[in-house]
Amino acid sequence: MPRPKKHVYKLRENAALGSRAARLARQPPAASPSPSPASLASPASLASPSSQFRKSLLEKEFKQYYYQVSLNRKVGTTPKEMREEIMSTFYYCTSSDDKPQHSMCAKGPDSWCFYNRAIARGVEPESHKKMRVYFRLDKDQLELVKSVYDRLTTNDLMSRCLQGLTQNRNEHLHSRIWKICHKHRNVYRRSVDFATATAVCNYNVGYMESNITHLLGIEYTHAMDKYLKHKDETMDAPIKRKMRKVRIRKELEYAAGAF
């Protein structure tokens, strides 16, 4: 099979927007909202990379895709708008009845922010303690949490996320190559080149068009045709499985008293 002169490997959006965020969050210092008031840790445990609190930060902030949802909402805008959208999650989750912080949250009667939504509808907002994501953090803990947000919302990082493309293209490409040519086995350079060209062609034009049988002009059997069509239809399934379920994503976009 002739090798293409130039491999074009443009990945779909949302493939791994949160990967860089997760790596940055694992670097000290680190902190982020805890999963529940009952599981709060002390300020000393916040600074500990191996603490249970630190683990809960990633589970709450990135597993539930708050960071990614904010990025997706502001794709194609400006770094400033994207940063404000992300920071609104911090101020929203750390607001209290004594100190509401919803100036960055969406406005209007259909806003995802229960506070701004209630004000727009002319009713009394409910207590912040009824929020699904409500964190009773001390001042020093809030500073540690905010430091993570600041590191994840730099102009340089926001500028690279404006198009909504993956921030980890190499790993995505490598995973496809390794499925054809396993990395734990020693192989010749020719095998690696062939696996690379095959992986790129499969991604760019699909299994049906890039199959060597098709290139040689040989007609597919019924079983082969069915198999290749199935491969094309499920090619992005690994990415889709990493995303939250549609129900959860819709709930994050809009839910009464939640975010």
Buried b / exposed e along 106-137 (16+ C-beta atoms within 10 A): beeeebbbbbbbbbeeeeebeebeebebbbeb
Q: What is the pTM of this model?
A: 0.48
Q: Domain extents for the chain?
A: 17-94+135-166, 169-242
Q: How confident is the model at residue 195, as a pLDDT?
A: 92
pLDDT top residue among 132 and 13: 132
Query: Which residue pairs, CB below 8 angstroms and at least 24 apart, start in 72-79?
Result: 72/13, 72/14, 72/17, 72/164, 74/162, 75/13, 75/161, 75/162, 75/163, 75/164, 76/162, 76/163, 76/164, 77/162, 78/162, 79/155, 79/158, 79/159, 79/162
CA distances from 233 to 169, 203, 228 (A): 21, 12, 9
Interval 207-257: pLDDT, tens? 888 888 878 888 888 998 898 888 888 876 554 555 445 555 555 555 455
